């Protein structure tokens, strides 16, 4: 099967495919067994069936399905392998694996391990021992020989290290081991980067005892590394390198991260075609640049693409010192004004709070500034002078500006780069023949060498340096007449700089020229922050503890146990396993130890020219895949399909059409409900209980309180039912069926009247429920309390009955208006029937209603006037008991006394109450109609 | 998956007789409407609710000139009129009964309570019981001649159980005019054949009552999937790939057959009753009973007064 990357472990089994035609024949022969049914009206059925083609054989697709299933099983038994890999030739007495696990191998370490695993597996199947050595491990790491499984364990335990390889040492050890195993195959899994001593190392390794070389390299060495990250004046300059000889242009993105790992800046570095070096600048505000803790190239997961930054790349702290009182009214004449404006963009300015130099200088020195600028400071107080000198000697940069005070102060060898003549020199002016001098070309030895001289700058006054032999090399800028304008000198590790003019524009116009800013920047670049770690001279001399390490994958990690303190010294510190790249020091100050330096290049490793047989293979993952499982799974799936198909053809799935139809209908309904609901959701603000609410308000309904006592509630319901029937029969009002309400939950405002039978055995309603009742009454509803205890106390009993007690408890929490028994001229007595009293099952209890305020009926009208309806009515006559009827309309309970008319009166009372509820004082007005008509008639 | 239909063993005649009696006891005495019956039949003991030849007193009526009847002097002596004593007409009627014995009747589906054969026998024996209780002459074509006996149903049952082989379709030409015949079958043969077989009855002026016993499975055709159908009579086999697809068309044909037969019966003035084996036998019995005792309300009326007549007898 050359056209397919497929091979079979047991190809003989494939002959089984020849059985497929037989299976096909058998399948065609035996259709699925039908369900046999006796069917008397066969003659009728025959007339129908004649028109249908009877499948006597399996349908073709079922046959195909089964053939496919058989073929799949045969194929699965043949153990197919997709993308089979080549096996290495079984040669040699041993296999020596030399694996580069340096930083350059980190990006595709998985591939390397996979490749090595295959080699070890082959060695294992050949039964030869394996020597396995890593070139970036400790020199005393065990290298074997192992058997294959132990070698595999070693391999899997190995990790890439963020350090360069040490090929000569490791290769020598391997070569020494191979002396006991002559004729071994040597597999070099190289990272592709050349290093010093490679040639000799390979010679050592391969010259003796090696029978074969397996050379494993990446197809293409594509490494990108950061070799420089420099905090420039206007940006952060980055330099990246890649493998030389890459003809294609490339672009990499570098990201800057702060110490919390947040990405705060980006830059793009572009490799021109064929170029191995790319530069780029991160133009970000200086404030941000100070927060850079590391810079990493995107997409490069190796230590070379990461640089950690320490203090040296950060913004400098600059202390400003002046003896002139800052005159806020004339800021342009303040000596520090132009310096401040020039330095602010790229340096942290530190100014002392005290004007007294004895206080101000220690204050500044405590801030550990990189540079101190003194504007026309003459004599330094003796008590702080030595500290300042020490600071300069330790690396501080002291920049001084001339001025009258300095000119008067005299020489100071420790804190001035040159000796000065006392007094100043004036150029030009009314009493001078000389004219103000311009600035000439900057001397080549100074830091300003690359600046162009400011032609517009003239100096009219300066302090002069004593001509000394070294005056020329100390001169950084000169005037046209050759006198120095800026002088500078190294003082131990520090630098002294003197501007021979004032920092304000009195002696020259240099401070207001653009060159001034540039010159100050150059000076600032020279300075170094005197951070804690650097200032701690003793600690620095000994060692710096590992703080944050760069892992092999380019991430910052805590130090590994292998990391040892770094002893900073002159020159480039080697990156070793003991001193992996990263930050050394502590939180207060760190020292950056980076893998690559400015001189690093990526030279590709060449295959050593040896006389051995060589097998060159690339790194690759093992892509071979055993197809047996998927094929069997597929066959099982087809089997399930086949079963379903047989069921379907046998009619099992449709035998229960009703159930299926019901299920379908349910699904459709659910879908419909979903869709319908979605539709409604757009236009409708439906709430739960809306249906109940609509039902409650679409017809007038009388409500009763569900007390929780079934007997009481059923009588309430039957009573209101009876009253409803009576109302329908006698009046124009046709109420809906009575509604039982739970006063704790249900909406009450739908009901004009709530009948509340008080039952002492029912649970006391909660405070919240009573509050709802109160609100209902306040909003115009009426509650008809019925204690139903007119006779239960016995005649002449003085104490209140339990129901009355309960009613009192309830009313205690309600805002009950003053009550009175229904007076004879109350509208309740006339609202439909003329009623002198309101009996229920019992007779005799008055019906209490809200007392009318103007109880006096002065004008002798037939009914008292008054607005509103009573929010409360109380009776003890058991109205519901009298009203209650069964389905046939027959009364449920006897009246006491058993007088049929009393029931009629009770119903009439109910009608009056309902009419009163619904019409209010309208009825009381109606009684005046005859009088009104009479008046109108007149 | 169980089968829907099965072939039941032929029902024991005694069992069918017992159930037939049970059914018959639920139906009032059968009064065969006899308006078309000739006077010269053998007298039964069954009052016809009209005057005629009989033993029981029916009414006194005033004597009119030329009346051939004898004056009842005992009654006439009581006043100035002369009366004639009428007697109630008592006459018997021949009803032929036949239940289809073909193997297709042995079918019983899962939804049905009994096989069609069982239902048919119960119906016929119930009719026999009813009729013989009413004193009618009953007969089974190809098995017995008409006879009158109180235990007519029992006798027919006995004869059925001893009969060697009954013809699938008996010769009906012996049945004469003014007889009734009750034919209980599934009528699954082509309608033309059935009509041709029954045509002799129509020509002889026999009033026939057809009861079609139908199994619910035959009517609704609940089969689905690949199904092989067997005809219990001929043994023919038919295989349907997906039976559910045939259901609609089959039902149409099935009903068309029934409607054609029913329409034919209606034209001839015969009754056609469908009885499903998942329903009660009494349904059909009551309907046939009503059809035999003339139409609708009149029939019910006579049936009701029949009790009175029987009580008198």
Helix (H) or strand (E) holding A360: helix A357-366
B41: distance to nearest CA of chain A, Å? Answer: 41
Enumerate the residues of chain B whose CB falls inside 8 A of the CB of residue A42: 229-231, 234, 236, 238
A881: distance to nearest CA of chain B, Å? Answer: 49
Mean pLDDT of B266-292: 84
Q: What is the pLDDT of residues A34-44, one digit of tens each?
A: 778 888 888 88
- Please, what is the end-to-end C-alpha distance for chain B in angstroms? 58
Q: Which two tokens stand for residue A126?
A: 């050949």
pLDDT at A679: 46
pLDDT at B35: 34
Q: Taking a contact as any Cβ pair under 8 Å apart, which residues of chain B between 235 and 294 contact chain A?
A: 236, 238-246, 249-250, 253-254, 257
Beta strand A316-322 with A347-350 is parallel
Strand partners, B208: B181
Confidence of residue B91 (pLDDT cuts 50, 70, 90): low
Are B226 and A46 a contacting pair at CB < 8 A? Answer: no
Which of A37, A55, A56 faces B223 most closely, judged by CB atoms? Answer: A37
Task: State how far the Cα of A646 lies from the Cα of A793, in Å rounded to an integer.
Answer: 82
Residue B306 has pLDDT above 50, yes or no: no
Q: Taking a contact as any Cβ pair under 8 Å apart, which residues of chain A between 622 and 661 contact chain B?
A: 648-652, 654-655, 657
pLDDT at B295: 42
Mean pLDDT of B118-137: 82
CA angle A690, A693, A697 (to 5 degrees): 140
B188: distance to nearest CA of chain A, Å? Answer: 6
Substitution target from B2, B235, B241, B250 for chain A, most A beta carbons within 10 A: B241
Residue with tokens 């400003």: A320
Single out the residue of B19, B28, B156, B178 nearest to residue B99, CA to CA.
B156
This model's pTM is above 0.95: no
Write out the E strands in A738-781. 739-741, 753-757
B238: distance to nearest CA of chain A, Å? Answer: 7
Report the 10 Å Cβ neighbour count for A164.
24
Share of residues in chain A with pLDDT > 90 (%):
3
DSSP letter for A800, please: P
Task: State how far the Cα of B134 lies from the Cα of B150, in Å rounded to an integer.
Answer: 8
A636: distance to nearest CA of chain B, Å? Answer: 25
Are A38 and B107 a contacting pair at CB < 8 A? Answer: yes
Residue B281 has pLDDT above 50, yes or no: yes
Strand partners, A375: A322, A401
Substitution target from B116, B226, B261, B274 for chain A, most A beta carbons within 10 A: B226
B53: distance to nearest CA of chain A, Å? Answer: 50
Are B230 and A38 a contacting pair at CB < 8 A? Answer: yes
Mean pLDDT of A373-400: 84
Instruction: For residue A547, count CB atoms less than 10 angstroms from its CB and return exposed for 0-12, middle for 13-18, buried for 19 or more.
Output: buried
Q: Is B58 on the interface with A (CB under 8 A)?
A: no
Q: What is the pLDDT of residues A49-77, one digit of tens each?
A: 765 555 556 677 888 888 888 888 888 88
Question: What is chain B's length?
Answer: 313
Alpha-carbon distance values, A779 to A752, A783, A784, B282 (Å): 11, 12, 15, 67
- Using left for φ > 0, alpha for ψ between -120 and 50, and beta otherwise, residue A197 falls in left
Are A651 and B240 a contacting pair at CB < 8 A? Answer: no
Q: Is A39 on the interface with B (CB under 8 A)?
A: yes
Q: Is B312 on the interface with A (CB under 8 A)?
A: no
Are B231 and A52 a contacting pair at CB < 8 A? Answer: no
Enumerate the residues of chain B whose CB falls inside 8 A of the CB of residue A657: 224, 244
Mean pLDDT of B194-208: 88
Confidence of residue A533 (pLDDT cuts 50, 70, 90): very low
Angle between helices B281-292 and B296-312 (to 10 degrees): 90
Q: Which two tokens stand for residue B87?
A: 């007697």
Residue with tokens 């009503």: B290
Which of A42, A56, A650 faces B231 most closely, judged by CB atoms? Answer: A42
Single out the residue of A295, A279, A534 nearest to residue A394, CA to CA.
A534
Confidence of residue B288 (pLDDT cuts 50, 70, 90): confident
Task: State how far the Cα of A523 lies from the Cα of A448, in Å rounded to an integer.
Answer: 9
3-class SS of residue A422: strand
pLDDT at A720: 92
Most confident of A434-448, A528-542, B218-232, B260-274: B260-274
Residue A265 has pLDDT above 70, yes or no: yes
Are A42 and B226 a contacting pair at CB < 8 A? Answer: no
CA A517 to chain centre: 44
Confidence of residue A154 (pLDDT cuts 50, 70, 90): confident
Are A651 and B224 a contacting pair at CB < 8 A? Answer: yes
Task: List b or e across B274-301, with b for residues whose CB sees 16 or more CB atoms inside 10 angstroms.
Answer: bbbbbeebbebbbbbbbbbbbeeeebee
Enumerate the residues of chain B whose CB falls inside 8 A of the CB of residue A649: 225-226, 241-242
CB pairs under 8 A between A and B: 123
Alpha-carbon distance values, A62 to A644, A646, B226 (Å): 11, 9, 15
Mean pLDDT of A278-289: 78
Q: Is B2 on the interface with A (CB under 8 A)?
A: no
Substitution target from B100, B230, B243, B252 for chain A, most A beta carbons within 10 A: B243
Residue A181 has pLDDT above 80, yes or no: no
Alpha helices in A825-899 (DSSP H): 879-883
Enumerate the residues of chain B whose CB falls inside 8 A of the CB of residue A56: 239
A59: distance to nearest CA of chain B, Å? Answer: 10
Q: What is the pLDDT of residues A863-891, one digit of tens each?
A: 665 567 788 889 888 888 889 888 777 78
Residue A457 has pLDDT above 70, yes or no: yes
- Please, what is the end-to-end C-alpha distance for chain A in angstroms? 124
Q: Is B104 on the interface with A (CB under 8 A)?
A: yes
Domain definitions of chain B by residue range: 5-39+92-312, 47-90
| CATH code for the structural domain at B5-39+92-312 | 3.40.50
Report the 10 Å Cβ neighbour count for B22.
14
Q: Which of residues A690 and A535 earns the better pLDDT score? A: A690
pLDDT at A540: 43
Mean pLDDT of A670-692: 59
Q: What is the pLDDT of residues A541-583, one digit of tens each?
A: 457 788 888 887 778 888 888 788 877 665 567 777 778 888 8
CA atoms within 13 A on the CB side of A753: 28
Enumerate the residues of chain A whose CB falls inside 8 A of the CB of residue B4: 37
Contact A864, A826 (CB under 8 A): yes
Q: Taking a contact as any Cβ pair under 8 Å apart, which residues of chain A between 795 and 814 contact chain B?
A: none
Q: Which of residues A210 and A440 earns the better pLDDT score? A: A440
Task: Nearest chain A residue to B105 by CA: give it.
Answer: A40
Task: State how far the Cα of A667 lies from the Cα of A660, in Å rounded to an integer.
Answer: 10
Residue A821 has pLDDT above 80, yes or no: yes
């Amino acid at each position: 099967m050359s056209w397919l990357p497929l091979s079979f472990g047991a190809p003989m089994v494939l002959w089984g495919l020849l059985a497929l035609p037989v299976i096909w024949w058998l399948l065609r022969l035996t259709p699925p067994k039908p369900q046999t049914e006796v069917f008397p009206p066969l003659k009728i059925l025959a007339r129908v069936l004649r028109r249908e083609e009877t499948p006597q054989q399996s349908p073709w697709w079922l046959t195909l399905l089964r053939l496919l299933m058989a073929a799949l099983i045969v194929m699965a038994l043949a153990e197919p392998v997709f993308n089979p890999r080549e096996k290495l030739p079984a040669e040699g007495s041993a296999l020596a694996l030399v694996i580069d696990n340096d930083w350059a191998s980190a990006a595709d370490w998985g591939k390397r391990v996979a490749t090595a695993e295959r080699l070890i597996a082959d060695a294992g199947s050949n039964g030869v021992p394996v020597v396995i050595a890593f070139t970036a491990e400790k020199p005393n790491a065990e290298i074997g020989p192992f058997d294959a499984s132990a070698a595999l364990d070693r391999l899997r335990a190995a990790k890439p290290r963020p350090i360069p390889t040490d090929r000569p040492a490791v290769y020598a050890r391997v070569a020494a081991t191979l002396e006991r195993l002559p004729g071994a195959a040597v597999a070099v899994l190289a990272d592709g980067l050349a290093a010093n001593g490679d040639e000799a190392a390979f010679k050592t390794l391969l010259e003796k005892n090696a029978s074969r070389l397996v050379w494993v390299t990446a197809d293409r060495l594509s490494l990108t590394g950061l070799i420089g990250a420099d905090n420039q004046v206007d940006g952060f300059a980055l330099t990246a390198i890649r493998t030389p000889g890459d003809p294609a242009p490339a672009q990499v993105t570098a990201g800057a991260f702060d110490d919390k790992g947040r990405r705060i800046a980006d830059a793009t570095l572009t490799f021109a075609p064929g170029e191995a070096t790319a530069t780029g600048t991160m133009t970000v505000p200086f404030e941000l640049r100070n927060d850079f803790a590391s810079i990493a190239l995107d997409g490069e997961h190796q230590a070379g693409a990461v640089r950690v930054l320490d203090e040296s790349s950060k913004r400098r702290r600059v202390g400003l010192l002046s003896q002139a009182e800052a005159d806020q009214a004339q800021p342009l004449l303040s000596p520090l004004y132009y310096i401040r404006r020039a330095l602010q963009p790229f340096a942290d300015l530190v100014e002392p709070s005290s004007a007294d130099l004895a206080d101000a200088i220690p204050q500044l020195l405590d801030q550990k500034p990189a540079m101190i600028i003194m504007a026309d400071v003459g004599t330094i107080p003796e008590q702080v002078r030595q500290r300042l000198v020490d600071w300069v000697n330790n690396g501080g940069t002291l920049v001084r500006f001339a001025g009258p005070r300095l000119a008067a102060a005299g020489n100071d060898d420790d804190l001035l780069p040159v000796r000065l003549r006392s007094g100043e020199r004036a150029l030009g002016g009314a009493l001078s023949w000389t004219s103000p001098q311009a600035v000439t070309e900057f001397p080549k030895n100074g830091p300003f060498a690359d600046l162009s001289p400011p032609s517009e700058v003239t100096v009219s006054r300066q302090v002069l340096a004593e001509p000394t032999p070294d005056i020329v090399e100390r001169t950084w800028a000169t005037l046209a007449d050759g006198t120095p304008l800026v002088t500078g000198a190294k003082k131990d590790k520090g630098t002294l700089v003197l501007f021979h003019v004032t920092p304000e524009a009195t002696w020259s116009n240099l401070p207001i020229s653009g060159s001034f800013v540039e010159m100050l920047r150059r000076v600032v670049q020279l300075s170094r922050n005197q951070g804690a770690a650097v200032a701690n001279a003793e600690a620095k001399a000994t060692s710096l503890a590992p703080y944050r390490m760069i892992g092999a994958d380019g991430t910052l990690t805590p130090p590994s146990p292998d990391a040892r303190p770094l002893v900073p010294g002159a020159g480039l510190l080697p990156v070793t396993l003991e001193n992996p790249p990263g930050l050394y020091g502590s939180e207060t100050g760190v020292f950056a130890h980076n893998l690559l330096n400015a001189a690093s290049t990526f030279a590709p490793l060449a295959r050593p020219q040896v006389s051995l047989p060589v097998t060159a293979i690339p790194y690759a993952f093992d892509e071979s895949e055993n197809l047996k499982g998927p094929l069997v799974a597929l066959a099982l799936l087809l089997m399930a399909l086949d079963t379903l198909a047989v069921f379907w053809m046998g009619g099992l799935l449709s035998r229960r059409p009703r159930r299926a139809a019901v299920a379908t209908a349910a699904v459709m309904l659910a879908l419909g409900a979903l869709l319908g609901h979605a539709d409604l959701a757009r236009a409708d603000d439906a709430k739960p209980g809306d249906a109940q609410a609509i039902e409650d308000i679409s017809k007038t309904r009388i409500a009763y309180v569900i007390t929780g006592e079934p007997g009481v509630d059923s009588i309430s319901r039957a009573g209101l039912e009876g009253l409803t029937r009576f109302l329908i029969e006698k009046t124009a009002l046709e109420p809906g069926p009575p509604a039982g309400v739970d006063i704790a939950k249900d909406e009450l405002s739908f009901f004009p009247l709530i009948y509340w039978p008080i039952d002492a055995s029912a649970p006391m309603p909660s405070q919240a429920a009573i509050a709802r009742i109160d609100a209902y009454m306040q909003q115009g509803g009426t509650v008809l309390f019925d204690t139903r205890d007119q006779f239960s106390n016995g005649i002449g009993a003085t104490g209140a009955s339990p129901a009355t007690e309960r009613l009192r408890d309830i009313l205690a929490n309600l805002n009950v208006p003053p009550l009175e028994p229904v007076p004879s001229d109350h509208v309740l007595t006339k609202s439909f029937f003329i009623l002198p009293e309101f009996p229920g099952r019992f007779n005799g209890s008055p019906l209490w209603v809200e007392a009318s305020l103007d109880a006096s009926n002065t004008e002798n009208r037939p009914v008292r006037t008054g607005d509103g309806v009573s929010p409360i009515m109380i009776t003890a006559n058991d109205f519901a008991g009298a009203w209650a009827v069964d389905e046939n309309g027959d009364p449920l309970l006897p009246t006491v006394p058993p007088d049929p008319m009393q029931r009629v009166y009770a119903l009439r009372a109910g009608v009056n109450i309902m009419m009163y509820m619904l019409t209010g004082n309208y009825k009381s007005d109606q009684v005046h109609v005859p009088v009104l008509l009479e008046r109108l008639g007149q | 998956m169980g089968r829907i239909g099965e072939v039941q063993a032929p029902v024991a005649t005694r069992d069918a007789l017992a159930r037939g009696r049970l059914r018959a006891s639920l139906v009032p005495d059968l009064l065969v409407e006899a308006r078309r019956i000739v006077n010269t039949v053998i007298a039964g003991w069954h009052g016809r609710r009209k005057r005629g030849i009989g033993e029981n007193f029916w009414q006194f009526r005033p004597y009119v000139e030329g009346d051939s009847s004898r004056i009842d002097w005992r009654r006439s002596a009581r006043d100035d009129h002369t009366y004639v004593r009428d007697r109630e007409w008592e006459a018997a009627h021949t009803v032929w009964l036949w239940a289809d014995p073909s193997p297709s009747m042995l079918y019983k589906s899962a939804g049905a309570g009994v096989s069609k054969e069982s239902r048919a026998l119960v119906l016929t024996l119930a009719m026999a019981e009813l009729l013989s209780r009413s004193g009618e002459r009953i007969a089974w074509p190809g098995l017995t001649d008409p006879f009158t006996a109180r235990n007519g149903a029992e006798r027919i049952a006995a004869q059925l159980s001893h009969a060697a082989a009954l013809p699938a379709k008996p010769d009906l030409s012996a049945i004469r005019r003014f007889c009734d015949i009750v034919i209980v079958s599934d009528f699954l043969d082509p309608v033309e054949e059935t009509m041709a077989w029954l045509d002799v009855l129509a020509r002889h002026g026999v009033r026939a009552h057809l009861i079609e016993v139908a199994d619910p499975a035959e009517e609704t055709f609940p089969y689905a999937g690949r199904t092989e159908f067997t005809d219990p009579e001929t043994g023919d086999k038919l295989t349907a790939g997906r039976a559910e697809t045939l259901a609609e068309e089959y039902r149409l044909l099935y009903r068309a057959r029934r409607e054609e037969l029913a329409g034919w019966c209606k034209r001839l003035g015969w009754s056609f009753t469908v009885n499903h084996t998942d329903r009660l036998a009494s349904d059909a019995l009551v309907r046939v009973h009503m059809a035999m005792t003339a139409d609708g309300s009149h029939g019910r009326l006579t049936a009701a007064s029949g009790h009175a007549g029987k009580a008198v007898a």
